[in-house]
Amino acid sequence: MQSEGVASRSADPSSSPRGSRTGNPGGSTGGNGTPPVDAVSLAIIEQLQEDGRRPYAAIGKAVGLSEAAVRQRVQKLLDQGVMQIVAVTDPLTVGFRRQAMVGITVEGDLDPVADALTAMPEAEYVVMTAGSYDLLVEIVCEDDDHLLEVINKRIRALPGVRSTESFVYLKLKKQTYMWGTR
């Protein structure tokens, strides 16, 4: 389990580093209005994914830039929402005993339901999908009572929610955030 690192999961897959690896030349923008990520920025992201506390000077040496240039690029990537530098924890070790993925079927427009889920502090991941569910939301709760309250009183109560199916996590086998540049 990683204790620190870079989470480069983006709300818009077309803006992720992977989605823009072959971006359009000439300064065109990605799906969310940000410029495509170039090879040097991808290399910086990879360095930070290995160690989110790696010094800019060491990153610069690895990617062929000065410390100041790396600092500017990292700030730009942060400002554009391409990446975040965060501490990644094992929820069990910090008091959250229950995690679940909830599949949600929605009647009508997905956006208001997705927005409401996004606003819930327990929701760690919200994605619109094609398939059996319209939305998937990963929730992290303190215990079973908290999980029941979130699903029964808050998610199912949202206007437009037609049904839910919960997948309670029994054991977390893998959780990494290294996919951002492969």
| pLDDT tens string 7-41 | 433 333 333 333 333 333 334 445 555 567 899 99
Whole-prediction pTM value? 0.67
pLDDT tens digits, one per residue of 68-84: 999 999 999 999 999 98
pLDDT of residue 180: 60
Distance CA 4, CA 25 (A): 33
The two three-digit tokens of residue 136, written as one number? 């998937």
Calculate the dihedral angle through the C-alpha atoms of 174, 10, 130, 23, rounding to the nearest 10 degrees.
-120
Please give the residue that has the higher pLDDT: either 32 or 6: 32
